[in-house]
Amino acid sequence: MHLTEEIINNHPQGTRKKYSDEGGLYLDIKPSGTATWTFRKMVNGTREIFVIGHYPQMSIEEARKKAVLESERLKRNSIEASRKEPEVNDVRNEENVRGAKIENFTKRAESEPKKKDKGGSTYKAIRTFYDVYCEYMSLKMEPVCSKTYCKNVHARAVTYLLPAIGKMRLEDITPKMILETVRKVEAQGKLDTSKRVLGLAREIFNFARSCCYFQGANPASDLSGALASRSVKHMSSLENLDDIGRLLYAASNYGSFFLRHAIKIQAHTFVRSSELRFAQWSEINFAKAEWKIPAERMKMPSPHIVPLSRQVLSEFRVLRDITGETRHVFRSTMKPHEDSPFSEAAVLVALKSCLKTIGLPEDSMVGHGWRSVASTVLNESNLFRPDVIERQLAHLERNKTRASYNYAHYIPEREAMMQWYSDFLDDLEEKQRSISISNKDMLYYLFAQRRKEM
């Protein structure tokens, strides 16, 4: 059966189904609405599944072409070559690694040759860093971490660690070797990646010591101080209340329909830019006046509830008249025939335009900056408890068990807080609008002309 846009658009919301296409291509649509392209192929007698993209970012035709390329790649035995022990030098860059399938570390660990000790019991003859890495991934990472996270860890290992020390016995690896390996990553300007690579090496050696695979000191444990430091750069945000009011006034008169409402909604809800961009109508509950963002789109192990003020509900109702029959709240104007959200840079570009209009530097505010504005205003108001503010900001709960229950905490207080905050922002905007109209300034005439064009 050939998959069509009509079949996808008629998928019942809140349900999961895998739709088959051709040549082993499937589209897996989850209850949250996330649609993932997967490709299935027999490799060495085993059915393997590969994630090749997401819909609608990758169209049906693009997915079919990608599946054909993946099939050809398998025929050239590239996967078989990547599984050789440990010929990781064949993988030359991180982009290729991310597209490759992660090795089944559990099978590899179980297939290790075994020896007998003096008491007659068997143990695995694990010697090299690569051997321990595979067992570490199998026992410590894969059971508790997402496939995407494991894939990223594997990409860093194959790109940076394994080519340098993968074949070496644990006892032969020195701190200098690890430092030289990490500094090569630093030399590429990847300071954050270098810290992650060092952290991975440290965890693997800690695991090896816990398993009594070697008795020496961890050669990666005391190297953090030798890494380059990155200057902390906070997200830009406005601090002057008059500037915030003028920015909201400019946003209300911005030319693009979707971006005009997007800026206002993000300002009032202070959600992250990705949470705003991929907002779906299935997440908006008009009866309860809340927006429930699923966990897979959050930096948290649980959903996030955003109580909706009267102002935000009004914004969503206006948008519903335009896109309410589709999946995404904010549609891309560049792809009018596809149900896809606007680009990652769209809101930032619109925000820069608004800043320029009111005479402020274009880099003085970013979408994430609304979170700083909200945190400052709400904390300085002394009207709301810090725990309530932090919960609404969706700051990560380190205790995952608590996080799974806490996402709905303080809802009555959060509802009152969000309504107060929307009223506060409205007052700031209305003040600047009144000043503009009274003075008949440049913004007054500019926006009057825009309103005629809308």
> Which strands sit side by side in the sheet containing 284-285, from one edge to the other?
284-285, 290-293, 304-307
* Dihedral sign for Cα atoms in the order 349, 351, 354, 359: negative
274 CB-near residues (< 8 Å, 6+ apart): 297, 344
Q: What was the pLDDT predicted at 453?
A: 52
What is the pLDDT at residue 114? 47
* Alpha carbons 360 and 272: distance in angstroms, whole number: 23
CATH superfamily of 1-76: Integrase, DNA-binding domain (3.30.160.390)
Q: How far is CA 17 from CA 93, 149, 313, 387, 416, in A?
A: 34, 24, 31, 39, 39
Domain with CATH 1.10.150.130 in the chain: 85-231
Dist. CA 70–CA 76, nearest whole Å = 10
pLDDT for 356 equals: 92
- As a whole number of angstroms, the distance between CA 168 and CA 205 comes to 13
According to DSSP, the residues that pair with 305 across neighbouring strands are 292
Q: How far apart are CA 177 and CA 422, in angstroms?
A: 56
Residue with the two structure tokens 């709400």: 378
Q: Distance between CA 118 and CA 414 in Å, rounded?
A: 65
pLDDT in the model for residue 388: 92
Burial of 329 (0-12, 13-18, 19+ CB in 10 A): buried
The Cβ of residue 428 has, within 10 Å, a number of other Cβ atoms equal to 20
CA trace torsion 345, 350, 352, 355 (10° rounding): -160
Alpha carbon 16 to its chain centroid, in Å, reads 22
Q: Where exactly does CATH 1.10.443.10 map onto the chain?
A: 241-453
Instruction: Please identify every stretch of the chain with a pLDDT value under 50, giving residue numbers as ranges.
Output: 78-103, 106-107, 109-110, 114-124, 232-233, 398-405
Rg (C-alpha) for the chain, rounded Å, is 27
pLDDT for position 105: 52
Q: Which CATH architecture has domain 241-453?
A: Orthogonal Bundle (1.10)
Spatial separation of the C-alpha atoms in residues 278 and 297, rounded to whole Å? 8
CATH of span 85-231 = 1.10.150.130
Residues contacting residue 394 through CB under 8 Å, at least 6 positions apart: 271, 272, 298, 299, 300, 304
205 close to 219: Cβ distance less than 8 angstroms: yes
The closest alpha carbon to 154, from 80, 96, 81, 97, belongs to 97
